[in-house]
């Protein structure tokens, strides 16, 4: 099983992500002027010295794959929302919830992995250092 980050570094990642709630969605955006999903994760992890690739499909191959039962705060969650391959990424905040930059409603927000929509589209999780 991949080693978890320290709780301090995981909390810092989550705190950064949560501080960006309400920032508007912007296609191709990767800064607080606006984010798309992978731009959001790139920015948040980058603030903590962790380099991620720019696009969702490349982020899907970073770090180590973990089972859904192992997901902890600060892990990346991946979904199939369009087409047959990974198309969306979010950051776990723990307790089955995640923060992300979705296109619908247009702002960074928290949602639950337990909802039918997200549970049926979940593809996997990755832990990056």
Contact assessment for residue 36 and residue 27, using Cβ atoms and an 8 Å cutoff: yes
Q: Residue 36 in 3-state DSSP?
A: coil
Residues that are catalytic: 37, 88, 100
**Going by DSSP bridges, is the β-strand pair 30-31/122-127 parallel, antiparallel, or unpaired?**
unpaired
Q: Name the nearest CA neighbour of 77 among 37, 9, 124.
A: 124
Residues near 43 by Cβ (< 8 Å), separated by ≥ 6?
20, 30, 31, 32, 35
């Amino acid at each position: 099983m991949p080693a978890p980050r320290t709780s301090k570094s995981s909390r810092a990642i989550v705190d950064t992500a949560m501080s960006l709630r309400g920032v508007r969605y912007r296609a191709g955006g990767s800064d607080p002027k606006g984010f798309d999903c992978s731009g959001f994760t790139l920015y948040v992890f980058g603030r903590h010295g962790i380099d991620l690739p720019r696009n969702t499909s490349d982020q899907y191959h970073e770090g180590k794959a973990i089972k859904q039962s192992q997901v902890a705060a600060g892990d990346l969650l991946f979904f199939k929302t369009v087409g047959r391959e990974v198309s969306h990424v979010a950051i776990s905040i723990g307790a089955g919830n995640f923060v992300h930059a979705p296109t619908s409603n247009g702002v960074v927000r928290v949602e639950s992995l337990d909802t039918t929509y997200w549970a049926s589209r979940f593809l996997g999780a990755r832990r990056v250092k």
